[in-house]
């Protein structure tokens, strides 16, 4: 700011008023200062600004890099936070550091609240103690840690709708590839089994082990291909798993949906690819992001103390990967 002030021939305090968009300077002075700042390549020191403020108004976000849904949620969190007057600080989960280390880093960066996307089943045992320091909002699961909020989709209902869609097309031999111990996986497997029983297909219930990756879907497909007869439909744990399964089946000469119908979960950008056209259970990422930030803002700005756990309705998006069985 001293460089800008010297360039224009005004005081540093006047430059501070202009760049802080505070009243006082005339329109002509503002124009001169802003033009000089642009010419000199001035950029505000965000960290220094936060240190001068009593509040950082920053929300820390812990997310995974391996799943499209996590990236979609991060994208939606930016406008959601801006609407509430907050910024975001991102911290990615990685094999080189623990979730607790990532959480401690966000708190150390003066984040006023934490949004945790898809925290693993091995969530920090002391998450409740973290919530005593800053508001904690989970997206995609509810660990049950005291003092936290959560926003998630009714996963069991989502898979139930997928199974009902397939049964309506005439399918009976429907297999589920589960998500292992990952967030939402247990509810999705439960929804599959419940839906099969509701449609009188108790004897056809079959769950193959998997996770939320393409390789898990490919592995499940290889197990099915080794059998004498294929199922007529598969509900995968998520879209990546469905993609791996579908690609492996097609490479083996199995037509999708001619021989086997495939359903995914998340309705990610992967599902919408023109060469894939995957039927998938949709999670409303934009709404989940808005509600998560709103939960944090209610605690920070309005003093809410009781926990909120929001469960959103899923929807099934039908595309070209499902059809009546031959």
Q: Of 149, 165, 169, which Cα lies nearest the Cα of 157? A: 165
Average pLDDT over every residue of 12-18: 82
Average pLDDT over every residue of 137-142: 91
Q: Distance between CA atoms of 305 and 308, rounded to whole angstroms?
A: 9
Q: Residue 272 gets which letter from DSSP?
A: T
| Residue appearing with tokens 């111990």 | 181
What's phi and psi for 200, nearest 5 deg? Answer: 75, 25
Q: Which residue has the higher pLDDT, 98 or 107?
A: 107
- The mean-pLDDT minimum among 14-18, 68-72, 290-294 falls in 14-18
Alpha helices, H only, the chain: 2-8, 12-19, 27-40, 46-52, 68-83, 99-108, 127-133, 155-169, 185-198, 214-225, 239-251, 285-302
Residue 122 has pLDDT above 60, yes or no: no
Cα 285–chain centre separation:
7
Query: Mean of the per-residue pLDDT values for the chain?
Result: 90
Q: Distance between CA atoms of 18 and 42, rounded to whole angstroms?
A: 13
Residue 52 has pLDDT above 60, yes or no: no
Question: What 3-state DSSP class applies to 277?
Answer: coil
Q: Which two tokens stand for residue 19?
A: 């760049």
Instruction: Give residue 314's pLDDT.
Output: 96
pLDDT band at 143 (very low <50, low <70, confident <90, very high): confident
Q: Residue 237 gets which letter from DSSP?
A: S
Q: Is 135 exposed, middle or buried (0-12, 13-18, 19+ CB in 10 A)?
A: buried
Round to the nearest angstrom and report the end-to-end CA distance of the chain: 73
Q: Is 2 exposed, middle or buried (0-12, 13-18, 19+ CB in 10 A)?
A: exposed
pLDDT band at 50 (very low <50, low <70, confident <90, very high): very low
Distances, alpha carbon 143 to alpha carbons 94, 119, 263, in Å? 20, 8, 27
Segment (H or E) for 58? strand 58-64
What's phi and psi for 124, nearest 5 deg? Answer: -50, 130
Residue 41 has pLDDT above 90, yes or no: no
Q: Distance between CA atoms of 300 and 298, rounded to whole angstroms?
A: 6
Query: In this structure, are residues 236 and 211 in contact, taking their beta carbons and an 8 Å threshold?
Result: no
Instruction: Give residue 47's pLDDT.
Output: 52
Torsion of CA 149, 152, 156, 157, to 10 degrees: 120
Note the pLDDT tens digit of each residue in 146-190.
899 999 999 999 999 999 999 999 999 999 999 998 889 999 999
Q: Distance between CA atoms of 249 and 246, rounded to whole angstroms?
A: 5
Question: What 3-state DSSP class applies to 60?
Answer: strand
Query: In this structure, are residues 18 and 33 in contact, taking their beta carbons and an 8 Å threshold?
Result: yes
Please, which residues have CB within 8 angstroms of residue 44's CB and are 6 or more apart in sequence? 19
Note the pLDDT tens digit of each residue in 267-291.
998 899 999 999 999 999 999 999 9
pTM, two decimal places:
0.80
Q: Which residue has the higher pLDDT, 277 or 55?
A: 277
Q: Distance between CA atoms of 322 and 316, rounded to whole angstroms?
A: 12
Instruction: Give residue 51's pLDDT.
Output: 47
* pLDDT over 90, % of the chain: 64
Note the pLDDT tens digit of each residue in 216-251.
999 999 999 999 999 999 999 999 999 999 999 999
Query: In this structure, are residues 109 and 60 in contact, taking their beta carbons and an 8 Å threshold?
Result: yes
């Amino acid at each position: 700011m001293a460089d800008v002030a010297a360039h224009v021939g005004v005081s540093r305090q006047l430059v501070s008023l202009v760049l802080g968009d505070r009243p006082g300077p005339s329109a002509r002075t503002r124009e001169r200062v802003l033009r000089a700042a642009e010419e000199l390549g001035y950029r505000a020191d965000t960290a220094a600004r936060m240190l001068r403020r009593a509040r950082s108004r920053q929300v820390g976000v812990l997310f995974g890099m391996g799943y499209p849904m996590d990236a979609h949620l991060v994208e939606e969190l930016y406008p959601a936070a801006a609407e509430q007057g907050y910024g975001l600080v991102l911290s990615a989960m990685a094999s080189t550091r623990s979730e607790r280390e990532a959480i401690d880093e966000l708190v150390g960066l003066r984040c006023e609240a934490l949004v945790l996307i898809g925290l693993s089943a091995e969530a920090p045992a002391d998450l409740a103690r973290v919530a005593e320091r800053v508001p904690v909002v989970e997206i995609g699961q509810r660990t049950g840690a005291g003092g936290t909020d959560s926003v998630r989709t009714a996963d069991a209902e989502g898979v139930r709708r997928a199974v009902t869609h397939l049964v309506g097309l005439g399918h009976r031999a429907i297999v589920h590839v589960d998500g292992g111990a990952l967030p939402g996986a247990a509810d999705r497997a439960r929804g599959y089994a419940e839906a099969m029983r509701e449609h009188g297909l108790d004897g056809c219930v079959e769950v193959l082990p998997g996770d939320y990756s393409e390789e898990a879907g490919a592995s499940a497909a290889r197990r099915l291909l080794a059998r004498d007869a294929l199922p007529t439909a598969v509900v995968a744990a998520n879209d990546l798993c469905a993609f791996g399964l579908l690609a492996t089946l097609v490479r083996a000469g199995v037509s999708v949906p001619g021989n086997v119908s495939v359903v995914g979960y998340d309705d990610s950008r992967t599902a919408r690819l023109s060469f894939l056209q995957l039927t998938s259970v949709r999670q409303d990422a934009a709404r989940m992001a808005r509600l998560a930030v709103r939960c944090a803002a209610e605690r920070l700005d309005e003093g809410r103390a009781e926990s909120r756990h929001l469960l959103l309705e899923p929807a099934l998006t039908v595309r070209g990967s499902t059809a009546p069985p031959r």
